[in-house]
Amino acid sequence: MRKKIFLIMKQAFYLSFLLLITQLSFSSINLNSHESIKPEKKHEKISALIERFIERSHYNHTKIDDELSSKIFSKYIEDLDENRSYFTVTEIQNFEKYRYKIDDMFGSQSLDPVYEIFNKYRINASNRMEFALDLLKTEPDFTLTEIFEFDRSEKGWLTSAEDLDEIWRKRVKNDALSLLLNEKDWDEAKEILEKRYQRFLKQLNQINSDDIFETFMNSAVHSLDPHSSYFSPRNSEEYQIQMSLSYFGIGASLSIEDDYVSIINIIPGGPAAIDGQLKPKDRITAIAQGIDGELTDVIGWRLDDVVQLIRGPENTVVRLQILPEGMAPGEPEKIIDLTRDQIKLEESAAKSEIIQTERNEEKYKIGVIDIPSFYRDYRALKSGDEEFTSTSSDVKRLLNNLNNENIDALIIDLRNNGGGHLTEATALTGLFIDNGPVVQLRNANGRISRLDDPDPVPRSSYNGPMIVLVNRYSASASEIFAAAIQDYGRGIVIGQQTYGKGTVQNLYALDQYVRRNDDELGQLTLTIGKYYRVTGESTQNRGVIPDIKLPSYIDKSKTGESSRDSSLPWDTIKPSRFKKGKSLDSIIKFLLSQHERRMESDPDLILLKEDIEESLKYRKKTSVSLNLKERIEEREENKKRKEQLENEKNDSDEDQDNEDRDINLYEAADIATDYKVLVASEEEKNQIAKQIN
């Protein structure tokens, strides 16, 4: 059978979502029946296939041996009980006999030990939830001085069931306290928690053999790198729906993280992106249908069940109760109303605007082109439509419009752009360089290929001062573009260190590799290559380091490729030959000095920096008080601090229309203005020198 391999050059966060959506979080679901689930015959077939692909096609040609077996074992245990809340140290020690045997289970030996571990987990999880339900019979004493450690991921395993009882007693108390802080009384909180815990028990009963196999297999392939993943037949179909965006929803990628449905990424052009309130790492705690619908608590639900609640008919309203990123359970939640719609390409297309700035009583026009993703309408292209929609064609049109407006400098805004089509990254780069290589790719066999500016004519669409604005969520194709602009000396990159997703994936439909197969086998996404800059440096893991850093709420230690345990390393290959422009070092040094001066004097930047520092400090918390009075006081103090910052910000804004302006974008405009003024001054000096000579 002819192999049909589909090259996937998708953005980092879509890939992250796709690998995470299959990784069902069983650590919050429980079971009434202890009947063991067994592996199916087809799972041995799938294991053997995946072993072959890993050893032959993965970028590292990783051999499935004892070393990898140990990594898979640790990852599997972590995926089941990341917060150390179900297994005791004795049980973990009993599982250790399988640490170096998992490699033998890929096709040759039984997968029974994998299921044995999970079935033991089911018993423990069921007992924990029954214990939690029993605790609800008595109202906790919220006047005691106690601390709940909600993040135990870095802690050791507990030694006894009694130790676990104490952890769960505090967990249940915190669950109740969180509801009391959101204006529920004890009876209401008790009812909500009873339903929540009973739902956990019911949902664990629905886990089947495919679910367990998928969890285990994702533990295996995620041990290779973060972007390789396995999709069961059920989730293979879900993958196609998500990639085609052929459904009506809110336009957000989701995953399960420790009981909560968490936002992975906001899809450009969708209702959530247009509304602007929902952010990555926000957590959905409840969902309601319609403006007046009753909120349904969804903490602990299966991801696919939550997705079904969010999806619905076009032009209908879904209400989400959100616990913002960094906020501990029980902190104030917010309600977001979103109208379901189909993702429209034109809404996710590049857009432009002009920001007016002033220096020395002289006005400047700074053009801004916001690029949410690197898109290309392949369907129109294949049909022969020469006017097919693409990032590069849209940006070229916008540049013509901005040039007609006589802009003084240009900002390309790639913040939150997770990538997309590689061909569009090279074509976009070609709009700003005369010609030459844009990116290099090395495959699993070590073969290096090069992608050049697709337009060989030595010209560019814009020649003035240029800024590329990025943040930690700028990934993949965004990093290729930003790196090329930086390497050619064509522009200055400002913002935050980018994501560091410099790998390429292939998608293998496993059914196509087995003859006379009656079973559906799912599909495998496997990392098969890496991107490299024209300088020979990889964008993998390290990302693109900005020339000038801007303050950001995004904690790079928690977000990005370098925060993932199995990330492929940064490395280098031989540089490409390319014609670099004049060094920008002296210009960057001057712009940096001006930026630092504003950071110390501009009220908006000062307040932004202070708020970020407070926010990052708060996010480092791993425990909360279980004293109701203390929690109320802490919440009120935090609320007052935010109100004070907001009032100070409003007082500093002379123009009230700019209260909600994008501070970093306007700082980028100031940097671009400084760039223009400096370049104009240099040109004037050169003209005078020529006249003298």
pLDDT of 157 reads: 96
The 10 Å Cβ neighbour count of residue 580 is: 12
Q: What percent of the chain has pLDDT over 90?
A: 57
* Strands annotated E in 360-421: 362-370, 409-413
Interval 556-564 mean pLDDT:
90
Residue 629 among the catalytic residues: no
pLDDT of residue 523 exceeding 80, the answer is yes
* pLDDT greater than 80 at residue 123: yes
For range 632-637, the mean pLDDT: 88
State the average pLDDT over residues 157-162: 94
User: Is 434 or 346 the better-scoring residue by pLDDT?
Assistant: 434
Q: In whole angstroms, what is the distance from residue 159 CA to residue 553 CA?
A: 38
Among residues 500, 477, 275, 486, which one has the least CA distance to residue 391?
A: 477
Pairing mode, if any, of strands 503-509 and 523-532? Answer: antiparallel
pLDDT value for 552: 93
pLDDT value of position 237: 52
DSSP letter string, 173-216? HHHHHHHHTTT--HHHHHHHHHHHHHHHHHHHHT--HHHHHHHH
pLDDT digits (tens, 9 = 90+) for 434-488: 889 999 999 999 999 999 988 877 678 899 999 999 999 999 999 999 999 999 9
Q: What is the mean pLDDT of residues 590-610?
A: 94
- Residue 482 vs residue 246, higher pLDDT: 482
For helices 477-487 and 422-430, give the axis angle rounded to 10 degrees: 30
Kindly indicate the confidence band of residue 390, based on its pLDDT and cuts at 50, 70 and 90: confident
| Architecture label for domain 345-506+526-601 | Alpha-Beta Complex (3.90)
Select which of 10, 120, 501, 649 is catalytic. 501
Per-residue pLDDT reduced to its tens digit, 52-105: 999 999 999 999 999 999 999 999 999 999 999 999 999 999 999 999 999 999
31 — pLDDT class (breaks 50, 70, 90): very low
pLDDT score for 448? 96
What confidence score (pLDDT) does residue 301 get? 80
DSSP conformation class of 419? -
363: annotated active-site residue: no
Please say whether the beta carbons of 324 and 334 come within 8 A: yes
CB 10 within 8 A of CB 507: no
| Average pLDDT of the chain, as a whole number | 85
**pLDDT class for 659, splitting at 50, 70, 90?**
low
List C-alpha distances in Å: 205 to 10, 188, 211: 35, 26, 12
Predicted pLDDT at 616: 81
DSSP 105: G
pLDDT at 466: 97
Q: Does the pLDDT at position 4 exceed 60?
A: no
> Which comes out higher in pLDDT, residue 561 or 345?
561
Triad 633, 637, 640: Cα angle to 5°: 140
Mean pLDDT over 143-158 rounds to: 93
Task: Characterize 468-493 residue by residue with b for buried, 16 or more Cβ atoms within 10 angstroms of its Cβ, and e for exposed.
Answer: bbbbbbbbbbbbbbbbbbbbbbbbbb
Neighbours of 436 (CB within 10 A): 21
Mean pLDDT of the 33-62 span: 89
Maximum separation of any 2 CA atoms in the chain, in Å? 94
Query: Tens digit of pLDDT for each residue in 172-186?
Result: 999 999 999 988 999
Which region among 142-156, 375-389, 445-459 has the lowest average model confidence (pLDDT)? 375-389
d(C-alpha 225, C-alpha 564), whole Å: 8
Is the pLDDT at 17 greater than 80? The verdict is no
Higher pLDDT, 659 or 194: 194
Question: What pLDDT sits at residue 306?
Answer: 84
Is the pTM value of this prediction over 0.75?
A: yes
pLDDT score of 262: 84
Of the candidates 121, 113, 79, 84, the one whose C-alpha atom is nearest the C-alpha of residue 96 is 113
Which residue is associated with the tokens 């031989």? 574
Distance CA 62, CA 247 (A): 38
DSSP H helix total and E strand total for the chain: 19, 22
Is the pLDDT at 259 greater than 80, yes or no? no
Considering 69, 229, 476, 552, which one is annotated as catalytic? 476
In CATH, which superfamily holds the domain spanning 248-342?
A: PDZ domain (2.30.42.10)
pLDDT exceeds 60 at position 3:
no
pLDDT band of residue 284 (cuts 50, 70, 90) is very high
pLDDT of residue 461: 87
Write the pLDDT tens digit of every residue in 419-433. 888 899 999 999 999
pLDDT computed for residue 9 by the predictor: 32
Say what the pLDDT of residue 507 is.
Answer: 87
User: pLDDT value at position 600?
Assistant: 95
Give the model confidence (pLDDT) of 589-598 as tens digits.
999 999 999 9
Q: Token pair of 618, please?
A: 């708060």
Q: Kindly state the average pLDDT of the residues 517-521.
A: 77
Question: Catalytic: 501?
Answer: yes
Q: How far apart are CA 512 and CA 571, in angstroms?
A: 35
Q: Which residues lie across from 322 on neighbouring strands?
A: 284, 334
Q: Up-side HSE of residue 108: CA atoms within 13 Å toward CB? A: 8
State pLDDT tens for residues 290-334. Answer: 988 889 888 878 777 788 888 888 889 999 999 887 777 767 788
Q: For position 121, what pLDDT does the model report?
A: 94
Single out the catalytic residue among 413, 453, 487, 674. Answer: 487
The CA–CA distances, whole Å, from 541 to 120, 182, 260 equal 36, 40, 27
The residue to which tokens 């979080």 are assigned? 25
Q: pLDDT at position 1, please?
A: 34
Share of the chain above pLDDT 70, in %: 85
Which pLDDT score is estimated for 18? 30
